[in-house]
Structure 1
Amino acid sequence: MTSSELETPPLDTARRLAEDGDLEGAAAILTELAADPDGPDRAQAAVGLAVVLEERGDVEGARAAARTALATGHPEFAAQAACHLAQGFEREGRAEQARGAWQAVLGVGTPAYVPLAHLALARLAAEADDYDEAESALRSAAEVAGDDDELRVHAAQQLADLLLERGEPGAAAEVLLEALGSAPPDSVARLRVQLGIAHLELACAEFAQAVDDGGDAATSGLAIELLARTLPLRGRLDDADRVWAYGLDHEDEALAGEVRLRHDRDT
């Protein structure tokens, strides 16, 4: 062994071995470093060991190594270890364990990883149909994004989609308008499309309310036409047919006549 090799830090040697495909050799070095409770490289070595062991198919060993790194409380490598655990649990469909690991990321509190944890917790909450928790997590992700405008926009887009699913287009529009104020140029178009969708949903709600309010025949006929012609833009063809049918068959002959004229313009 040359003098330069003797001077190479063990972590670098382990990394080189792993890159060259010698996972066993890398694991041996990393295991020794991770086992030293007073070693300066313990946290980083434990994370590296978790990755190497997972590549070797030793899932439980990888998790044990990740937990070692997490226990160090290291601001960088403990957070990486918690992410490693969380992602592994998610791949296996173990939502509760994944949620606990993402919460551990929040507990470490490293700014670079906190928004990612909030986004992941929002995803898990949405999958469990806990939309209040998902909304809270997405709002937290946007708040702690710091100078990462792309991440903030990503959180805003997901939050807007969630609010639209919940039938809250007004709240979705507010989120998107705020996001547009600091959006990177390549995100503006996506945000504007979403904002347009929110406005379409708002328009549908207003048209439907105008029909329910029971105005004069001309106004109600226009509201029915606008609602029936807007709904297909949101993929709601069956709903549009029902709106037309409601107007065409209405007991008020004046209203039914108005709707018939508007409907027959396409024929």
Structure 2
Amino acid sequence: MTSSELETPPLDAARRLAERGDLDGAAAILAELVADPHGPDRAQAAVGLAVVLEERGDVEAARAAARTALATGHPEYAAQAACHLAQGFEREGRAEQARAAWQAVLGVGTAAYVPLAHLALARLATAAGNLDEVEQELRAAMESGDPGVGARAAQELADLLLEHGEPGAAADVLLDALEEAPAEEVPGLRVQLGIAHLELACAEFAESVEYGADPQTSALAIELLARTLPLRGRADDAGRVWSYGLEHEDQTLAAEVRLRYHRDA
């Protein structure tokens, strides 16, 4: 070993060994650093040890190292350790343990990791069917200060609201997100906003038909509704709307609808 290698800081030496595939050598150096409760590099070494041990296939020892890093409360490495734990539990389908680990990320409070934790908690809540928690976590992600994550959370929340028949609320979410979204996220948000507006339009057309109007206005509403529904993948519903108008007991209305139905034929 050369003098320069002897002078290499232990963390750098461990990293180089790991990069060369010497996981045992890297683990030995990192474990020694972790064993010093007052060492300045203990938190970082514990995270590194968790990664190396997991790569070596020693999952439980890796988690023990990650918990050591988490216990230090270090704003960067404790957060990394909690993320490491959470992601591992998610891969194994251990939802409750993953949820606790992501909440630990929030407990550390490091700004760079908080948005990701909220998105992850929303994902777990979706899998559990807890829609109120999904909305809560997505809104928290939107307000966490990361514009990119906020835009992604807004899209997910808008999808959720659209699925549950709340296009107006979805549109509000998307409009808020557009105010701070990164340029690359704007096109997707605008497309989704257009979809929300289509749903709002369908609702307005349907209400116009339901509450009744003069035959010309009702026929127009029926046509617009029937021609808009297929854009949302609802061709069968569109057919029923046409049938409603074509077979209406008001013969004047039915005749108006018939003209509109056949004008593109």
TM interval, shorter chain, is over 0.9
How far apart are residue 254 of structure 1 and its match?
A: 2.4
Give the partner amino acid of 1:216. Answer: D
1:210 aligns with 2:212: no
Aligned length: 265
1:31 aligns with 2:31: yes
Counterparts of 1:91 and 1:206, CA distance in 2 = 44
How far apart are residue 246 of structure 1 and its match?
A: 1.8
Of stretches 234-243 and 223-232 in structure 1, the one that deviates more from structure 2 is: 234-243
**Pick from 186, 194, 200: which aligns with 1:188?**
186
Task: Give runs of aligned pairs for residues 118-133 of structure 1, distance below 5 A.
Answer: 118-133=118-133
Q: Please, which runs of 5 or more residues in structure 2 have no aligned partner?
A: none
Q: Map Cα deviations across residues 11-40 of structure 1 (whole Å, 9 max, x no partner).
A: 111100000111111111112222222222
Counterparts of 1:254 and 1:126, CA distance in 2 = 49
How far apart are residue 247 of structure 1 and its match?
A: 1.7
1:158 counterpart residue number:
156
1:114 counterpart residue number:
114
Of stretches 70-79 and 151-160 in structure 1, the one that deviates more from structure 2 is: 151-160
Counterparts of 2:107 and 2:52, CA distance in 1 = 25
1:140 counterpart residue number:
140
**Pick from 231, 236, 239: which aligns with 1:238?**
236
TM-score by length of 2: 0.95
1:221 aligns with 2:219: yes
How far apart are residue 101 of structure 1 and its match?
A: 0.6
Counterparts of 1:11 and 1:82, CA distance in 2 = 20
1:57 counterpart residue number:
57
1:94 aligns with 2:98: no
Give the partner amino acid of 1:200. Answer: L
Identical amino acids, percent of aligned pairs: 78
Counterparts of 2:250 and 2:26, CA distance in 1 = 82
Q: Map Cα deviations across residues 198-238 of structure 1 (whole Å, 9 max, x no partner).
A: 10010011111111112222211111111110011111111
Q: Map Cα deviations across residues 53-106 of structure 1 (whole Å, 9 max, x no partner).
A: 111122112111111111111111110010011111111121111111100000
Q: Please, which runs of 5 or more residues in structure 1 have no aligned partner?
A: none
1:17 counterpart residue number:
17
Give the partner amino acid of 2:92. Answer: E
**Pick from 164, 167, 180: which aligns with 2:165?**
167
Of stretches 246-255 and 212-221 in structure 1, the one that deviates more from structure 2 is: 246-255
TM-score by length of 1: 0.95
